[in-house]
Amino acid sequence: MKRAALVIVGLMLAANAAHARPSAGLPNDQMVTRLVGWDEGATAELRQTLLEAMGARVTGRVPLIRMDRIELPAERVAALRAQPAVLWVERNHRLRLMDEPNDPYLQFQWSLYKMGVLKAWEHETGTRSPVTVAVVDSGVESVHPDLIGRIIQGHDFVSADDDPADTNGHGTHVAGIIAALQDNNFGVAGISWGAKVLAIRACAEQGTCDAFAVSAGIAEGIVSGARVVNLSLGGGGTSCPAPFLALAQVAAAKGVVLVAASGNSAQDQNPAMYPAACDGYLGVGATTNRDKWAPFSSHGPYVDVSAPGVDIWSTLPAERSSPTTPGFGAHSGTSMAAPQVSGLAALLFSAHPDWTAEEVIARILETAVDLGRAGRDDYFGAGRISVARAIKG
């Protein structure tokens, strides 16, 4: 997507367009507009003869690529397409200037601007090779109007059924950060335009989870073909639970990136949080809109990288949002930072579908903006992610 620079063919049409009337006897609503590309050997006389025989008229021309804009009877489009002198026949697709998406709450999504997401979209929107991101969380409200068509229903490991509905709101917020519909004149914009979210419920309404449900959720994400698994959850402990380590080994073999929030317990003795502190997981800390460390963000040697995590706008179930902005709202936490990294990983996999998980992680880390002490540190890891740097290389 090019900002304010889309080439719209209507602006390139020659000024000497024909002004003939539509074919006699056919009302205008039975005439259609098409763009026709001609073979190099199609002379002007041949083109004119063929179009007259089709009851068509030329309304514009781009000589550089031998293209005519024409109007012709709808029932004759197929016959025109079959002519040897015709290379292609296309609809006159509608375009518009794409300076930035028209989602009304984009103005509140400071993190997208801070990370250079809009600049990155000029090169990759996530639609080239769409990626599935598994969100192991409290479920996702799949009928949210800004998530319609983006959600794949996974399993509910809390209620043991196949309806991972969100009874907490947390998972819906996380999913929107990654993949909320963009440029639809509604709500917010997710980081990846092409990502699908595999919704997996592993946490109860109160926000509590257990290792079995989370492990089962990670496993479902891997088996289902997700390239990224987002884990905006965690718990303290003295060592990494064995199931998380086993899953990390499987994920590495399958080329899956595991992204985990570092935790929000910096002011509460700052315990190590798992799975972020487990080997094989990309631990994500949180930053503010001034590229400062978020005071709640747990820190330690397991923080690999950071991302915006304060006042992050995204999707919410209507009943868990403000009446003034129904269906949307801002939350803070490393839970909001992790999906920013997952969204970037999805963009990278879309741009480079043959990349390994190690290559994606390396690009994320090497292009991060160094913050705090020079080099890697326990508060920011490699620094705050830069989507623009990562995508543009």
Active site residues: 137, 170, 335
User: Residue 212's closest CA among 158, 175, 169, 260?
Assistant: 158
Q: Can you give the chain as a three-state secondary structure string?
A: CCCCCCCCHHHHCCCCCCCCCCCCCCCHHHEEEEEEEECCCCCHHHHHHHHHHCCCEEEEEEHHHCEEEEEEEHHHHHHHHCCCCEEEEEECCCCCCCCCCCCHHHHHCHHHHHCCHHHHCCCCCCCCCCCEEEEEEECCCCCCCCCCCCEEEEEECCCCECCCCCCCCHHHHHHHHHHCCCCCCCCCCCCCCCCEEEEEECECCCCCECHHHHHHHHHHHHHCCCCEEEECCCEECCCCCHHHHHHHHHHHHHCCEEEEECCCCCCCCCCCEECCCCCCCEEEEEECCCCCECCCCCCCCCCCEEEECCCEEEECCHHHCCCCCCCEEEECCHHHHHHHHHHHHHHHHHHCCCCCHHHHHHHHHHCCECCCCCCCECCCECCECCHHHHHHC
Q: Are 264 and 299 in contact (CB under 8 A)?
A: no
User: Residue 182's closest CA among 69, 30, 361, 315?
Assistant: 315
